[in-house]
Amino acid sequence: MRSSRGRWTLTLTLRSNWLLFTKPCMDDRTKCQTVVDKIVPFVKEKGTVAQQKRALRVLLPESPIFGYLEGRIPHPSHTLGKLIHLVEEEEKVKINKEIANRRSRLGAVLGQVTLEVRKEVYGNSPLEDLYQELINWSDDEEVRREADTKLLQHCYEKLLAFPKEKKPMLRNKVWKLADGLVILKYPYELAWHIVIEWKDCENIGEHDVNVLREYHRSHFAKFGLKKQKSSRSALAFRIVGEYCTMLEEYESVVDITRRGIKSMAADYSYTGLALQKNSDSMKVILARALIHYQSPKHHDEAKALFGDVLQRNSKYGSALVGLGLILEEQHNYVDAADFLGQALALDPGDLKIMSEAAWCDVLRGNFLEGLSRLKGCLGQITGVDARSRDFKAQVLWRIGQALWGSDEQCRADRSGPYHYFRSAIESNQNFAPAYTSLGIYYQDIEGNSGRADRCFQKAFEISAGELEAAERLARNFAESREWELVEIVARRAAEADKKRSVPGKGVSWPHSAIGVVELNAQNFSLAIPAFRAALSTSPNDFHSLVGLGEAYTSAGRYVSALKVFLRAEALDPTNWFAKYMLANVRREIGEYEEASIGYRAVLELRPKEFGVLVALSETQLASAWHDIEAGYFGRAADSAVESLEVAQKISGERPDAFNLWRIVGDCCSVFSWIQSLVNRMPRGLVVQILKTEIDLTEFDILSEVDGVGSQALGDSEVDGLTLCLNMAILAYKRAIYASAEDRHAHAVAWFNLGCAEYRSYVILPDKPMRHRMAAIRCFKRTIKLEPGNHEFWNALGVATGELNPKVAQHALVRALYINEKNARVWANLATLYLLQNDIQLANEAFSRAQSADPEYALAWVGQGIIASLTGNEADAQDLFEHAFEIADSSSSLVKRRFSTATFDKVIQLQYESGLVSLVGPIFALQKLRQEISDEPITLRLAALFGERVKDFVSASEKLEVVCEKVEQKYETTESEEDLVCYAQAKADLARVKLGQEDYEAAVENATLALDISGEISRLEDCRLSAHLTAGLGYYYSGNMDESLEMFKAALNESSENPDVVCLLSQVLWAKGGDEERDVARKLLFTCIERNPDHLQSIMLLGAIGILDNNEDVLEAVMDDLQAVRGREGLIKASKQQVDSLLTKMAQLQERDDAIAVATTSIFIQPSLSSAWNNLAKLTDGNDHVMAMALKVAQESKALDAEELSFAYAQQGIMSCNQRAIIIAPWKVDGWVNLVEDVQAAALPRSAVDSSWY
């Protein structure tokens, strides 16, 4: 209240006194002064800033009482000073407050916020007028100058803050204020800065020297400021840039001028002052430095800068000269001479331009004209200072170079080029090009290598950019095998700022040499940038391209290497090495066919190149292994044969090469992985290769153990599989002798031999133990040679697995100690534990294998085996399936386990199998048969799958082969196991023949199976199958009596199995007699009583009830079937049979009952397409029902082709009939409907709707 009352009192006082001031009493001047003297202190004590400013304005000349009290009140300058102070403080507080408030806003930028606030405050600021009034009223010179500086600072800050369109007027005012202060020589730095920095001039000499001198004196003597670098002075950057240019410190010039250009751009954005001449001058300084700095890397940038300047000023001499020098460096001497000529026309007395123009004439072959002009220039050089001597040395050297190039005959004349080179050195003993030329003279003309080397070394010491001298030095060092010196010279030359080479010769060799050095040191990451630097200066340098490609290849960057070698090949199509390296890269990325084509192209140029022959043979071998993994076994065999053909050529050139015999052994081993094609191995070719230049006793190594020696070369009685394995073993034995001088290769040779021996033990039918023992000896030998290789320990562990588990465990653990992340070793260790019945440890080891490599299929197979052993068949099936999906085609174990597990699931779990679900195991068995030829177990399993998908012809062929092989084996062994296999195969063959409707063969094979299995207790299932097959065969042959006997025997052997009862009932009913049919009825009733859930018996009884028209039976059967319909686990085929039978039963009663039954089927399982089709038939093709039937069929994932075709055929639309035909062309429904549609439309066949296309 007190504050509020005081403020009201103050306001009323001001208002009353204002009335007093506006109507003053002319006779009461003393009283008026008293009021004035009181009001100002009162307002200062009690009032706001605005009220204080208002009170002070009462004392200014614009006030009504100023003239009345003039002389009695303070002088206006004193009052203005106080008012200015108040306004300054108020604006300062306001600016800081607004900046603090706005900078916290989302997306606010401090610099932008500051400019906006200052623009708002300065736009309404009275300070400019107040400063001007203070200058006008004050008699104190110091006060006036201080007001001038504040006015300049205020206007300058307004200039920075105001928008671009308002800057010109403010800029003129700022310039006038600053110029006035400079004229008065007032020591205010901003004024001097503006006057000096805002001077736009092409040359620094256009600046007022007196102003600069006075600024220098004032700035340091009177201002008392310390010397410091200016971060904003564009003029300072320009002066330092030109000074460094004179000192030829071009790196500093580039850095300084770039900063200067940025500073000028910033000044322009602040003040709107372009200063185009200053900008052009700065650009020219930068461009001139870029000519020499890291030449010629920045020449394009320099040309762009010169071009930009010349667009505005086509007579800018320095730009013309600079552009001419760049073109001269780029060997464009005609255009260079043109630009230099224009520059010389602008300044005819410039000797440097004259000498450069003459030098261009020399470089483009106009030696006489160039010599004349150079000699004329030489005669005008009269100075004796250091720069003049340097210039004279350059002209003398150029005259010598002109004479050297104009006449080769006069090069040996010592009064010719030699004289001028020596004169150049006398003029400037540090002129490096003269030493280089003199060294060339000594080396090429006089043949004095000592003097030449000294000259080259002197040139290189003076200037590392003398590339010709450096290259000759490097070559001399390379010839004396001083490689360290070669590297030093190359690095110094590459790091030189300014490089000079012989005209027409590239400057890329230092970087290329560094790349070669790093490549030899296997520093591929350093070699790559070196070669790229070389190519940046010489893009078509073939050797640098090849080096870069090699570096990329060694670093594993094959895509980049491929691009580089393609470019190198395009540059020189006849160079064999580029083709060879390109082929190597293609081999690394898996393009084996293209790589082989490349190697053959190289061999056309160099037919006996050993390395290329080996590479081609290895590529064909790698292609074979790749094709085996991908499942292309025929292509793999072709590639292996081609590899052997190339190996034959190698054996004629280098029969002692280790890689040759490794390739031959691997090629022979390829055929052991594709046993169905083993006969395609060229035995004669392999024997011929093995016999090339060798003492046959070399093959007898370990022959006392494995039985494979030189006699195996002529053994023609062995089968193809044994032959290919023996040939591989012999090849690896020869590799042992070929690698005797190389410890690592020798270890690998023993390892390869051990692998071949162990594979012989694993895949040969009789499992010869001699090969296993030989393998163990080989692996022990290789471990002695190289104990740090985990693969060798792993192989020993596998080979000794069942023989000595402790040794095997030690070997495998040792392998894991060396490399604990190898999934193969973990899986082998797990298998060892599994063989020892330690399921827990096996499971842990398989889990570690999966962690090490989730894509290693055998680890998942091991987990599946463990799951199967522990009774988790579903998990086992999933694991086997996953292993099959991730495995390659060479893994026979994965395919075998997956196929077996799938068949077990189909049989044991009543799995509802369609063709789609069995494609995987059928395909796996097909590939497995190609790998392991006609193995009886595999063939029989494949035949059983074929039987499931009704491929009876293929199944019959396989089972006949099985019977033949097992019979041959039984004749040799006479074992019960072989007899059991034979009986089972015959029973299977009988079923397949029954499926082929070859009833006589079916009966014959089933009878033979029964005869064989009579005394073997474990063949009960086989006998049951044979009885049933024989019974059906007799039945379909019309021999009912024999059929009944077979079924009765089956019934006795199966302990009245309900399925057998059903078959017997069908045969009895088909015989046709009343007595037989009564027996059939009784059998079914008895069967249902014993097996009330047996669906087939119920359905068969229902069918008999329909034929007998027995309502009691039908009613009972319908009740049972209605209960069965909703049972879980009922397979799709059984559901369809139940629905069909119920519908037929209902149709015998009323049509509505049949529709109700069909509708109920849909409610129970709406996703069943057959249910919708059944309802569509009963409703005479209801559109909605047919549409739903088609929709359900289209969305079903487990629908076969016939059902989908039928759904389309029921739509009554021509396009749907066409689709039905395409889906299942063997079904007649689509064809019949299509014929009807065409006839109804009375259109020719060509007009049939083809929208389905």
753 CB burial (10 A radius; 0-12, 13-18, 19+): buried
Homologous superfamily (CATH) for 950-1055: Tetratricopeptide repeat domain (1.25.40.10)
Residues 568 and 578 sit within 8 Å (Cβ to Cβ): yes
Enclosing H/E stretch for 588: helix 576-588
pLDDT in tens, 731-764: 999 999 999 999 999 999 999 999 999 999 999 9
Closest CA to 328 of 283, 363, 380, 278: 363
Residues 705 and 634 sit within 8 Å (Cβ to Cβ): no
Residues 1190 and 1207 sit within 8 Å (Cβ to Cβ): yes
List, by residue range, all CATH 1.25.40.10 domains of the chain.
Answer: 950-1055
User: What is the pLDDT at residue 858?
Assistant: 92
User: What is the pLDDT at residue 565?
Assistant: 94
Measured CA to CA in angstroms, residue 212 lies from 193, 219, 229, 246, 650 at distances of 10, 10, 17, 21, 85
Q: Which residues pair with 466 in a beta bridge?
A: 500
Positions in the chain whose pLDDT score sits under 50: 1-26, 220-230, 1243-1253
User: What is the pLDDT at residue 229?
Assistant: 45
> What does the alpha-carbon distance between residue 626 and residue 642 come to, in Å, rounded to a whole number?
15
> What does the alpha-carbon distance between residue 1154 and residue 962 come to, in Å, rounded to a whole number?
50
Q: Alpha-carbon torsion 964, 968, 970, 971, what sign?
A: positive
Query: Taking phi first (over 0 means left), then psi (-120 to 50 degrees means alpha), and beta for anything else, what does residue 1124 get?
Result: alpha
Closest CA to 1057 of 1090, 1030, 1079: 1090
26 CB burial (10 A radius; 0-12, 13-18, 19+): exposed
User: What is the pLDDT at residue 1241?
Assistant: 66
Closest CA to 582 of 564, 557, 604: 564
User: What is the pLDDT at residue 28?
Assistant: 67
Strands (E), 380-468: none
3-class SS string, 1039-1074: CHHHHHHHHHHHHHHCCCCHHHHHHHHHHHHHHCCH
Q: Tokens 């197979």 correspond to what residue? A: 861
* Residues with Cβ within 8 Å of residue 279, at least 6 apart in sequence: 261, 264
pLDDT in tens, 460-515: 999 888 888 898 998 888 888 787 888 898 888 888 767 776 655 567 788 888 88
Residues 239 and 204 sit within 8 Å (Cβ to Cβ): yes
3-class DSSP assignment, residue 466: strand
User: What is the pLDDT at residue 758?
Assistant: 95
Tokens read off for 534: 């070389």
CB atoms within 10 A of CB 549: 27
Q: Alpha-carbon torsion 945, 949, 952, 953, what sign?
A: negative
> What does the alpha-carbon distance between residue 629 and residue 895 come to, in Å, rounded to a whole number?
13
CB atoms within 10 A of CB 155: 21
In this structure, which amino acid lies at residue 523? N
> What does the alpha-carbon distance between residue 285 and residue 302 come to, in Å, rounded to a whole number?
10
The 8-class DSSP code of residue 657 comes to -
User: What is the pLDDT at residue 1181?
Assistant: 64
Enclosing H/E stretch for 683: helix 683-690
* Architecture, CATH, for domain 1126-1199: Alpha Horseshoe (1.25)
Please report the DSSP string for 614-647 in residue order: HHHHHHHHHHHHHHHHHT-HHHHHHHHHHHHHHH
Peptide bond into 296 cis (omega under 30): yes
* Residues with Cβ within 8 Å of residue 271, at least 6 apart in sequence: 159, 160, 167, 171
The top-level CATH class assigned to 430-507 is mainly alpha
Q: Which residues pair with 500 in a beta bridge?
A: 466
Tokens read off for 13: 């006082």
Enclosing H/E stretch for 455: helix 449-462
> What does the alpha-carbon distance between residue 1252 and residue 353 come to, in Å, rounded to a whole number?
82
